[in-house]
Structure 1
Amino acid sequence: MTTATVGGRHYTAPAARGSADFAGTTRMLRLFLRRDRIVLPLWVFAFGLLPAFYVGSAKAVYTTQADLDHAAKSVMESPALVAMYGPVFSTDLGSVGLWKAGPFYAMIAIATILTVIRHTRVEEETGRAELVGATSIGRYAGLTAAMIMTATGCLVVAISSALALYSSDLPAAGSLAYGATLGGSGLAWAGVAAIAAQVSVGARVARGVAFGALGTAFAVRAVGDAGNGVLSWFSPLGWCINMRPYADERWWILIPLLTVGIVTTVAAYMLLRQRDTGSGLLAERPGAPVAAPMLSGPSGLAWRLQRGSLLAWSIGFLLYGSLMGGAINSVGDMLDNSKQIRDVINRMGGTDVLQNSFITFALSMLAIAASAYSISAVLRLHDEESSQRAEATLAGSVSRVRYALSHIGIALVGPVVLLLVAGAAVGIIYGISDDDLAGKLGDCLGAAAVQVPAVWVLTGIAVTIYGVAPRYTPVAWGVLSAMITIFVIGSLDGLPQWIRDLVPFVHPPKLPGSSFQATPILWLLGIAVVLLGVGIAAFRRRDLR
């Protein structure tokens, strides 16, 4: 027996570990940018320009310094308003005008969380990350590309919002401070999302972890601002509020914001090194050996998959509705003397009674939030199909229509639950403070209920996109973002009515305070039914992906 050696082969040292881990980052970035070519510009555009519209509206409403002083004083006398939006630190136009833009710090966090998780954990959950990783793509390329794209979006938001505010004749320092803080908030929460993507096994759990942290930060900030302000310093959202644009800016607050973004990002890379692709650091609990009776059909399975999300959203709607109920009586004191404010609120869909107008507009905004829940419930169908779990379910004695309706039913019922919970919270708190519990509760529940058909139109749009062109299902988020932009800008700046009519949330009866009209409700229901029918029929006929 002899041993043969193969000549001509020479040992080649492998590339440095660090460079190999990041190989292909540029190509992954190009792929992510192409996939987000619609959604990314939408949230960058919205957060970059909407703050200036808020200031423009305040400039048109508060025409004198006395009006600004009165508005700031009224806000600070209402703990509920301070908890919802944060305190007003000065009576300058910029500070008062941007007061209601305080929630943008949390809204950009939502955008960055969804963006990072969509391009990290979702890629692993669907198996695409493992397929791409089998090529010459480094281990860290996907996470790096997602973070670069998100950070670039935050940078563009910071620059565009600062320039837009400065062009509104506001001081440069305050404009730059607000823009930098808005971008810094997005960066900080992008890092939190990156960690959530490493510790969880599925995208749904990752979103739950990140949004749970965001909800906790919002609650801590709200309680702190409504109190003595100390607790707010334990929340990144509280740091953003305390930057105090146009009121002796605290530039050093950018240091902890950026530190959180850097530390969480570095931690995400360290956690990524410690796990296998497709796995998570939080171990999955073993399921029961025998399925519960509720899991005997597709409806039970859909409920099992989505019940946690509905519970979390319900708690959020309950808390926010309670805050709004406590703020209603303060609205009249703050706004009652301004004809300009009445005009703006009436364009938003209100009546001559400011308290009723506030309820109408507040529940319209909650209807938009309920639409986001409904779209996410519909997207669960898309996720199940992309991960090929839908194919396994449909291989049994389950029709496509029955399978689709199991998730669509939750997308339709869920917003009803959320809006009624919020309406009940508003009515109870408002009724107790006004010594008219039964009357105010009934009014607020009715005002919440009439918003449901408008939400179902968005549900129908998402189902239609999923049925006709499943790969473009996430575009439903872009449709919702466009409608929010039109709704807000049209309310503040008086867009032509035909443009505002494209948004379903402007059509429900303006309850409480005006008479109920069935015609717009019937039209919205008819449109929703047609859209749902088209989407389900298309899904029934097409091939699974």
Structure 2
Amino acid sequence: MIGTWNLVRLALRRDRIILPVWIIAIVGITLSTATALEELYPVGQARQQLSLTANTNPAFLAMLGPLRDAHTLGGLLAWRWGLLAALAAGVMSMLLVTRHTRAEEEAGRLELIGSTVVGRHAPLAAAVLTAFGANVLIGGLIVALLLGKGLPAEGAIAFASSITVTGWAFTAVSAFTAQLSENSRTANSMAGAVVAGTYLVRAAGDSAGDSGPTWLTWLSPLGWAEQVHAFAGDRYWVFALPLALVVVLLTTSAVIVTKRDVGLGLLPTRLGSARGAPSLRSPFGLAWRLQRGSLIGWTAGLFLLGVVYGSIAQAVGDMVNDNPLMKKVISAIGGSGGLIDIYLATIFGMIGMISSIYLVQATLRLRSEETSFRAEPLLATPVSRPAWVASHFLFAIVGGALVLGAAGLGVGLTHGLREGDVGGILPRMLGAALAQLPAAWVVAGIALVLFGLFPQLTGVTWGVLGACLVLTMFGPVMKLPQLLMDLSPFTHLPKLPGATWTAEPLLWLVGAALVLVAAGFAGFRRRDLTT
């Protein structure tokens, strides 16, 4: 364990931008959600109607779980945000651990560090401690915020602890998957599959009904977080399950670390073809080989997300109609169509920002290739710098359209089938989804500008995306100044499908994206590599 604390300091230094973004986002959304629920559901009939709708609609149960106590603000918060906050903490922990373990081995830096006075267990321990500390900080801040809103201390601690301990559980999962493969992307994919699988298993258990396999919820760490019953009984004994999982997986990972060679995984690496495919003769073919897995995964994921949101559109419309205050607040968000269209407009706004994560990932793959010293040999061939940049940035431009189109297709098919009008609803949903694309292009353009001009600051792009999320989704609820909310490109998009379509803001956003992209290309042509 020698050198563990020095490696913790190094991890905090490297994550000084992205880690605070995660923490502020999770804690900030918790506060804004509590504030919004307080206004949307005052004590009385509105909460009773919400409880009836939430606990009888299978789509709501699958997405958020059961609403156990609609009479208190804490109970509403635990239902509306508890599961999603635990999921966000799990994803943060997964990415954090892989970044500081398997990714470091793959890049060869861990072998260099290991040649100094550093114990064999120190890198894994440092990554785990960093993730544990981030989750503890999130939990502590949430407890302080909820106590400040007058919620009972016991429920606040149970709610925050369910988020923290779930983050610990997925920290252990990621520590284990990092030992299996010698590729960081494969390790992240395996851990991500576990996260997605636990969400789906829990969803199946929650939506099964009294006569179905509700026991499936107990097979999922996310289900354990839900079974704590924060603000509705506070069952602390449930924490024994994720803590036991943490002990088993971390112990197993620590043993595997001492049994394998540095840089290798427990699973054997599949040998590739002795000859490269003809498609790899161009930079675009190589970029497709590197980016295709991410593009296919994001396309499938957002299609499924669209299916979920499309399936509950009608139920949300009925619930809103029964709550005059909620009807007023949702109408204030934007849009001039029916309440279901306004709900869908809000959903598409959120999907647009989620899709921006993919666009940023596709763009920043350029920086990853550069810092891994794979770009320099490629650019030593007749491949030009603009061609290499364009080969990857194409996936941000065209891939973003595919991802958003998949989400629109999912919403349009499910909502259209429920309404019996697929031919009329599907084109409207596709148009509403693709209307988010210019704003997502602006975010990708910012990532390309930072890559081309200030490559050391490419991580700032995630902070920009987080700020866009807060300003667009929670600005109206938090009553922020309009001038401040206008800093987000997503604020300027028409609220489709409910609002009247106007091309002017979309053209302005496309123009801004073109300027940013041109600046990024020009900057990269003039700077040195790996600077």
Among residues 165, 185, 189, which one is paired with 2:170 in the alignment?
189
Among residues 111, 136, 149, which one is paired with 2:130 in the alignment?
149
- SS for the counterpart of 1:424 is helix
The yes-or-no answer on 1:159 pairing with 2:140 is: yes
How far 1:356 moved relative to its partner?
0.6
Among residues 190, 198, 203, which one is paired with 1:217 in the alignment?
198
CA contact (8 A) 2:412 2:425 kept: yes
Name the residue aligned to 1:7. none
CA contact (8 A) 1:447 1:511 kept: yes
Name the residue aligned to 2:382. 397
Name the residue aligned to 1:11. none
Among residues 28, 37, 46, which one is paired with 1:58 in the alignment?
37
- SS for the counterpart of 1:403 is helix
Report the Cα distance in structure 1 between the residues aligned to 2:331 and 2:97, rounded to whole angstroms. Answer: 39
Among residues 9, 13, 24, which one is paired with 1:34 in the alignment?
13
Letter in 2 for 1:174: G
CA contact (8 A) 2:101 2:123 kept: yes
Among residues 70, 77, 88, which one is paired with 2:67 in the alignment?
88
Structure 1 gaps, min length 5: 1-21
CA contact (8 A) 1:52 1:168 kept: no
- SS for the counterpart of 2:178 is helix
Among residues 477, 495, 498, which one is paired with 2:483 in the alignment?
498
Superimposed CA distance per residue, residues 182-203 of structure 1 (whole angstroms, 9 cap, x where no aligned partner): 0111111111111122211122
CA contact (8 A) 2:96 2:127 kept: yes
Name the residue aligned to 1:469. 454
Name the residue aligned to 2:255. 270
Report the Cα distance in structure 2 between the residues aligned to 1:441 and 1:147, rounded to whole angstroms. Answer: 45
Among residues 57, 69, 76, which one is paired with 1:78 in the alignment?
57
Letter in 2 for 1:98: A
Name the residue aligned to 1:103. 84
CA contact (8 A) 1:59 1:97 kept: no
Report the Cα distance in structure 2 between the residues aligned to 1:178 and 1:156, rounded to whole angstroms. Answer: 14
Which shifted more, 39-48 or 382-391? 39-48
User: Which structure's CA Rg is the greater one?
Assistant: 1
Report the Cα distance in structure 2 between the residues aligned to 1:262 and 1:482, rounded to whole angstroms. Answer: 36
Report the Cα distance in structure 1 between the residues aligned to 2:468 and 2:335, rounded to whole angstroms. Answer: 19
- SS for the counterpart of 2:179 is helix
Q: Provide the aligned length of Structure 1 versus Structure 2.
A: 524
Report the Cα distance in structure 2 between the residues aligned to 1:217 and 1:543, rounded to whole angstroms. Answer: 45
Letter in 2 for 1:163: A
Report the Cα distance in structure 1 between the residues aligned to 2:19 and 2:461, rounded to whole angstroms. Answer: 13
Name the residue aligned to 2:181. 200
Report the Cα distance in structure 2 between the residues aligned to 1:464 and 1:222, rounded to whole angstroms. Answer: 41
Letter in 2 for 1:265: L
Report the Cα distance in structure 2 between the residues aligned to 1:347 and 1:258, rounded to whole angstroms. Answer: 44
The yes-or-no answer on 1:443 pairing with 2:425 is: no
Report the Cα distance in structure 1 between the residues aligned to 2:251 and 2:401, rounded to whole angstroms. Answer: 41
The yes-or-no answer on 1:290 pairing with 2:270 is: no
Among residues 311, 321, 342, which one is paired with 1:357 in the alignment?
342
Name the residue aligned to 1:237. 222
C-alpha RMSD over aligned residues: 1.5
The yes-or-no answer on 1:180 pairing with 2:161 is: yes
Report the Cα distance in structure 1 between the residues aligned to 2:201 and 2:336, rounded to whole angstroms. Answer: 34
Would the alpha carbon gap of residues 35 and 136 (structure 1) be closer, same or farther in structure 2, given more than 3 Å must change?
same
CA contact (8 A) 2:166 2:221 kept: yes
Would the alpha carbon gap of residues 57 and 443 (structure 1) be closer, same or farther in structure 2, given more than 3 Å must change?
same
Matches within 5 A, 1:258-337: 258-337=243-322
- SS for the counterpart of 1:416 is helix
Letter in 1 for 2:166: S
Report the Cα distance in structure 2 between the residues aligned to 1:491 and 1:120, rounded to whole angstroms. Answer: 40
Matches within 5 A, 1:450-461: 450-461=435-446
Which shifted more, 261-270 or 357-366? 261-270
CA contact (8 A) 1:53 1:492 kept: yes
How far 1:347 moved relative to its partner?
4.0
Name the residue aligned to 1:485. 470
Report the Cα distance in structure 2 between the residues aligned to 1:382 and 1:348, rounded to whole angstroms. Answer: 37
The percentage of counterpart residues that share the same residue type is: 38
How far 1:115 moved relative to its partner?
1.2
Name the residue aligned to 1:19. none
CA contact (8 A) 2:445 2:513 kept: yes
Among residues 78, 85, 97, which one is paired with 1:116 in the alignment?
97
Superimposed CA distance per residue, residues 203-252 of structure 1 (whole angstroms, 9 cap, x where no aligned partner): 21111111111111111112221113322211111111222211112211
Report the Cα distance in structure 1 between the residues aligned to 2:373 and 2:362, rounded to whole angstroms. Answer: 17
Report the Cα distance in structure 2 between the residues aligned to 1:139 and 1:347, rounded to whole angstroms. Answer: 57
How far 1:352 moved relative to its partner?
5.2
Letter in 2 for 1:77: T
Report the Cα distance in structure 2 between the residues aligned to 1:386 and 1:342, rounded to whole angstroms. Answer: 50
Structure 2 gaps, min length 5: none
TM-score, length-normalised on structure 2? 0.95
How far 1:287 moved relative to its partner?
1.4
How far 1:348 moved relative to its partner?
3.3
CA contact (8 A) 2:331 2:339 kept: no
- SS for the counterpart of 1:526 is helix
Report the Cα distance in structure 2 between the residues aligned to 1:348 and 1:198, rounded to whole angstroms. Answer: 46
Superimposed CA distance per residue, residues 395-428 of structure 1 (whole angstroms, 9 cap, x where no aligned partner): 1110011011111111222221111111111111
CA contact (8 A) 2:165 2:243 kept: yes
Among residues 516, 519, 527, which one is paired with 1:531 in the alignment?
516
CA contact (8 A) 2:65 2:226 kept: yes
Letter in 2 for 1:76: N
Superimposed CA distance per residue, residues 372-394 of structure 1 (whole angstroms, 9 cap, x where no aligned partner): 11111122111111111111111
